Structure 1
Amino acid sequence: MKKEISICWLRRDLRLADNAALYHALKGSNPVLLLFIFDKTILEKLSTKNDARVTFIYQTIEALRKEAAKYGSSVLVLNDTPERAWQKVLKTYNVKNVFANHDYEPYARERDDALAEFLASESIPFKTFKDQVIFEKDEIFKADGKPYTVFTPYFRQWEKKLTSFYKKSYPVSSYLKNLFQTKPFPSLSLNELGFEKSDQDFPSIHFAKKLDEYEKRRDYPGDEATSRIGLHLRFGTVSIREAVREAIEQKADKWLSELVWRDFYMMILWHFPYVSKSCFKPAYDKIEWRNDEQEFKAWCEGKTGYPLVDAGMRQLNEIGFMHNRVRMVVASFLTKHLLIDWRWGETYFAEKLLDYEMASNVGGWQWACGCGNDAAPYFRVFNPELQAKRFDPKHTYIDKWLPEFKQQKHVEPIVEHAFARERVLKVFKDALNQ
């Protein structure tokens, strides 16, 4: 008779330390098998076969397999749709419980609902936990029982509710002896997954050294003062609880607020899943976008004639990252100067960003467009030239990512700022007055 086991399904929590679902699984009565599924439903939609994020996930899983081996265990890695993968797992093992951490994106919710129904038909409990945020779903509500839709009052409540309980790590290491004992499972190669190894460099987790710099110089893209922790938060290679503790211990208030924005946007996506495809403020869906494909191409390639915009797009295309201040400027430029639908830009970022996270990306794009969770009116239009003078006065960032600017070979602007500003104000006003 097969041995009874529990399974901990790793998804956006690719670590053993301080992992909520793994902690609860290991404290149960059955040995715990770690499972990771390369989800074909997601992978088949990727536009390139050397997507750096797949390489990052692959390398991380291989590292987890080595870590698990120290405890006589391994990570079972499958390459399939979740539905077929779980059918295989239940045929192979006598599964008594399944553990996983919450995911808030629409596809993930559908996937988990389907799995819960399937497991229930097999009389297997599916137990899920909060792990990738400090507060989720309805943990922070207004007095009237409704979710906050503006960040500042949400942040106030978030800080009030934060106690040591919410910052505490799960002591997983004390229970790792309860992992399922097995020889290493056969390893899949990237080629077997249908991908090539990317030569992209990935940032290390070094936020603790960066927080002092971040507080002072976070808005200056040429200073390299940001933590670059987004990739690790996205795939759960670092715990949000550890990050929050570091922010508080180092009195890094601005950095802490960025972490809270992440909680906020996850909460918004949970309660208003339509924002993944539509404006949070429905009236903005009436905007008549120009959607000029040649201008969109120029924006994608960093050939708009605005140095800060073009430097940002070149950085994104080259290393899969863009400084946050510049993200706001390029998003504003696409939606306000070129009158191109924010969804076009959001989709392009989704293809390129190593740290792409739907909730934050959609939230950021709608913030820049003016159609999202923002108390400011729609007529905020960033002037890319003034932004460059203020935040890159010595052209450190622009010269690095846009060498033709230094050589005075940069293209002419594809639209004049004052004209673009007047045009977008009229278009937005007309849409909102319908």
Structure 2
Amino acid sequence: MGSDTARPVIVWFRRDLRLAENPALTAATATGRPVLPVYILDDDGDGRPHGAASLWWLDKSLRALDADLRQRGGRLILRRGNAEAELLRLIEQTGADHVFMNRRFEPDAFANDADIAHALKAEGVECHGFNGSLLARPGSVLSGTGKPYRVFTPFMKALLQDLPERPETPVPATLILPAGPSSEDIDTWALHPSVPDWSQSFDWTPGEVGATEALTAFIESALADYAAGRDIPERLSTSRLSPHLHFGEISPRSVVRAVCAASIQGHVAPAQADKFITEIAWREFSTHLLHQFPFMAERAFRPEYDNMPWRSDPEGLKAWKTGATGYPLVDAGMRQLWATGWMHNRVRMVVASFLVKHLLIDWREGEAWFWDTLVDADLASNVQNWQWVAGSGADAAPYFRIFNPVTQGEKFDPAGRYVRRWVPELRALPDRWLHVPWTAPSAVLADAGIRLGHTYPRPIVDHAEARARALEALKLISVRPMDEEGV
């Protein structure tokens, strides 16, 4: 295959679908060799297959990355199958003797990466792994006793206090991108839904350019009022960066750097920037926890909660999934999720609480539905947030904290704009009864064109009764307190 300098190196893209601030790509280009950008769709290599909404996003993100590479004279080589086998095929076809990749930290994916690295080394191929998805690599943020944090606040303080300063690394100025071997056609992967195409109302711009635009728009229009605005579901006051971060179209370092710059330059108050950075730290906390405690993807982090007497309620679960619970805020959230692949964070907490507290349905049922329907479905964040609501996670909300969907709606959607958008059959109902339509006088319902039980469901469970049932269930398990450091 000629001299070593003529041998290409492989950059194995996974959840780092960007060119800027990409340590694996930066290191690969620093070799001065031709770079082969590769993406392998391995249905079994991640431990859990992508959900349907994630596949929709992946399709668009891969196309965007390929377009960015083509502007620089190259292309993205696509393969589908066992990742180790496909890499070995590419190595045999091209003579590549180095593979650069940004590590994945979910337990199964992390172990799979290690196995592949060992297999390649046995073939004389060096694997170089980097952290391109987190502010700090799991295992690097530990307590004074050398143990993982189980409580968020001390974790966040340690994370941000010890965060090393790193210069910005833009798209490499020189990318040597040879034509390379054959690539599969992404159209044949059929990642976009077709029969039916349930994504027609999705309003997203996947890809690195879309991620950068989303960050800019957030800083310019919503960051200044983030602390309060983030709780109002009708407003565009959250960053909507979560799917871009999950697929690595932008790095968390780039996000934090831009938010800090806006604060330093006086565009936003430091408290607003700090509040948003707290959310980035929570994402880190989730990933560190899952990496260090792999069992929490399937079992309660706090083992006593595995004894919860969960109910089997197929009809209740179906009503929850389809936004037909009779509680307007819950139904609005579930319909927003189906229509857009995303749900406002405040509403996520309410709908999750409703499932596990009001219906007493296992949190894993909700986590599985979110995994399939969210464009930002991230294993660590999904599991951690569901366990937070269920009370079974690290530094979780107490189980007896049961969100009242009525008062949550009245507090955070007082004018009813969010509910009216996603539950249009209630649109003509006056504000006074919008979050409690079952209490409205018959004449008011008639004027609004509402027939309870026909055009809109009655509540599938009474709030007071459901709350009492949930608290009774809690008495059946022995909840142990967690110390401040949580170790």
Q: Give TM-score scaled by structure 1 length.
A: 0.92
Alignment check: 8 A CA contact 1:308 1:385 kept: yes
Deviations 1:122-144 (A, max 9, x none): 02121111111101212211100
Structure 1 residue 354 corresponds to structure 2 residue 375: yes
Q: Name the residue aligned to 1:149.
A: 150
Q: Name the residue aligned to 1:367.
A: 388
Alignment check: 8 A CA contact 1:7 1:97 kept: yes
Alignment check: 8 A CA contact 2:56 2:191 kept: no
Root mean square deviation, CA, Å: 2.3
Residues in 2 aligned to 1:98 and 1:77: alpha-carbon distance in whole angstroms: 16
Structure 1 residue 257 corresponds to structure 2 residue 278: yes
Q: Name the residue aligned to 1:391.
A: 412
When structure 1 is superposed on structure 2, of 271-280 and 241-250 the one drifting more is: 241-250
Look up the SS of the partner of 2:172 in the other structure: helix
Residues in 2 aligned to 1:194 and 1:401: alpha-carbon distance in whole angstroms: 27
Residues in 2 aligned to 1:129 and 1:184: alpha-carbon distance in whole angstroms: 25
Structure 1 residue 170 corresponds to structure 2 residue 193: no
When structure 1 is superposed on structure 2, of 212-221 and 222-231 the one drifting more is: 212-221
Structure 2: any 5+ residue segments left out of the alignment? 263-269, 428-447, 481-487
Q: Name the residue aligned to 2:74.
A: 73
Residues in 2 aligned to 1:16 and 1:374: alpha-carbon distance in whole angstroms: 36
Deviations 1:350-385 (A, max 9, x none): 000001101111110000000001254321111111
Residues in 2 aligned to 1:171 and 1:249: alpha-carbon distance in whole angstroms: 17
When structure 1 is superposed on structure 2, of 233-242 and 55-64 the one drifting more is: 55-64
Q: Name the residue aligned to 2:431.
A: none
Q: Name the residue aligned to 1:25.
A: 28
Deviations 1:325-368 (A, max 9, x none): 00001111100110000000000000000011011111100000
Percent identical among aligned pairs is 38
Residue 248 and residue 47 in structure 1: after superposition, are their counterparts in 2 closer, same or farther (change >3 A)? Answer: closer
Q: Name the residue aligned to 2:229.
A: 217
Look up the SS of the partner of 1:414 in the other structure: coil
Q: Name the residue aligned to 1:180.
A: 177
Look up the SS of the partner of 1:231 in the other structure: helix
Residues in 2 aligned to 1:20 and 1:256: alpha-carbon distance in whole angstroms: 22
Residues in 2 aligned to 1:433 and 1:380: alpha-carbon distance in whole angstroms: 14
- The match for 2:358 among 337, 351, 357 is 337
Alignment check: 8 A CA contact 1:35 1:75 kept: yes
Structure 1 residue 411 corresponds to structure 2 residue 411: no
Residues in 2 aligned to 1:134 and 1:164: alpha-carbon distance in whole angstroms: 10
Look up the SS of the partner of 1:41 in the other structure: coil
Residue 148 of structure 1 aligns with an amino acid whose one-letter code is Y
Q: Name the residue aligned to 1:201.
A: 203
Alignment check: 8 A CA contact 2:388 2:397 kept: no
Q: Name the residue aligned to 2:132.
A: 131
Note the C-alpha offset of 1:90. Answer: 2.3
Structure 1 residue 87 corresponds to structure 2 residue 99: no
Q: Name the residue aligned to 1:426.
A: 472
Deviations 1:180-207 (A, max 9, x none): 3227955614234465465432154323
Residues in 2 aligned to 1:296 and 1:288: alpha-carbon distance in whole angstroms: 16
Residue 108 of structure 1 aligns with an amino acid whose one-letter code is A
Residues in 1 aligned to 2:32 and 2:117: alpha-carbon distance in whole angstroms: 21
Residues in 2 aligned to 1:427 and 1:218: alpha-carbon distance in whole angstroms: 32
Q: Name the residue aligned to 2:340.
A: 319
Note the C-alpha offset of 1:115. Answer: 0.7
Residues in 2 aligned to 1:235 and 1:126: alpha-carbon distance in whole angstroms: 22
Residues in 1 aligned to 2:306 and 2:160: alpha-carbon distance in whole angstroms: 34
Structure 1: any 5+ residue segments left out of the alignment? none
Alignment check: 8 A CA contact 1:74 1:184 kept: no
Q: Name the residue aligned to 2:16.
A: 13
Residues in 2 aligned to 1:4 and 1:414: alpha-carbon distance in whole angstroms: 65
Residue 285 and residue 192 in structure 1: after superposition, are their counterparts in 2 closer, same or farther (change >3 A)? Answer: closer
Residue 155 of structure 2 aligns with an amino acid whose one-letter code is Y
Note the C-alpha offset of 1:106. Answer: 2.5
Residues in 2 aligned to 1:145 and 1:346: alpha-carbon distance in whole angstroms: 31
When structure 1 is superposed on structure 2, of 349-358 and 232-241 the one drifting more is: 232-241
Answer with 1 or 2: which has the greater Rg: 2
Residue 138 of structure 1 aligns with an amino acid whose one-letter code is G
Residues in 2 aligned to 1:433 and 1:79: alpha-carbon distance in whole angstroms: 46
Map 1:43-62 onto structure 2 (within 5 A). 51-62=52-63
Alignment check: 8 A CA contact 2:24 2:130 kept: yes
When structure 1 is superposed on structure 2, of 183-192 and 64-73 the one drifting more is: 183-192
Look up the SS of the partner of 2:460 in the other structure: coil
Note the C-alpha offset of 1:30. Answer: 2.9
Note the C-alpha offset of 1:29. Answer: 4.8
Alignment check: 8 A CA contact 2:13 2:37 kept: yes
Note the C-alpha offset of 1:267. Answer: 0.4
Residue 469 of structure 2 aligns with an amino acid whose one-letter code is R
Residues in 1 aligned to 2:371 and 2:463: alpha-carbon distance in whole angstroms: 27
Residue 243 and residue 97 in structure 1: after superposition, are their counterparts in 2 closer, same or farther (change >3 A)? Answer: same
Note the C-alpha offset of 1:92. Answer: 0.8
- The match for 1:286 among 302, 307, 315 is 307
Note the C-alpha offset of 1:246. Answer: 2.0
Residue 102 of structure 1 aligns with an amino acid whose one-letter code is R
Residue 195 and residue 394 in structure 1: after superposition, are their counterparts in 2 closer, same or farther (change >3 A)? Answer: closer
Look up the SS of the partner of 1:190 in the other structure: helix
Note the C-alpha offset of 1:216. Answer: 3.3
Note the C-alpha offset of 1:316. Answer: 0.5
Look up the SS of the partner of 2:187 in the other structure: coil
Deviations 1:90-133 (A, max 9, x none): 22121211111111113312321221121021021211111111
Q: Name the residue aligned to 1:97.
A: 98
Deviations 1:376-433 (A, max 9, x none): 4321111111100110011110110011223444311111111111111111221227
Residues in 2 aligned to 1:367 and 1:52: alpha-carbon distance in whole angstroms: 23
Residues in 1 aligned to 2:286 and 2:186: alpha-carbon distance in whole angstroms: 35
Alignment check: 8 A CA contact 1:136 1:263 kept: no
Look up the SS of the partner of 1:40 in the other structure: coil
Alignment check: 8 A CA contact 1:5 1:180 kept: no
Residues in 2 aligned to 1:335 and 1:351: alpha-carbon distance in whole angstroms: 18
Alignment check: 8 A CA contact 2:19 2:171 kept: yes
Residue 280 of structure 1 aligns with an amino acid whose one-letter code is F
Residues in 1 aligned to 2:121 and 2:143: alpha-carbon distance in whole angstroms: 34
Residues in 1 aligned to 2:345 and 2:241: alpha-carbon distance in whole angstroms: 12
Residues in 2 aligned to 1:283 and 1:325: alpha-carbon distance in whole angstroms: 27
Residues in 2 aligned to 1:321 and 1:376: alpha-carbon distance in whole angstroms: 23
Alignment check: 8 A CA contact 1:73 1:182 kept: yes
Note the C-alpha offset of 1:274. Answer: 0.6
Figure out how many residues of one structure are paired with residues of the other and give that number. 428
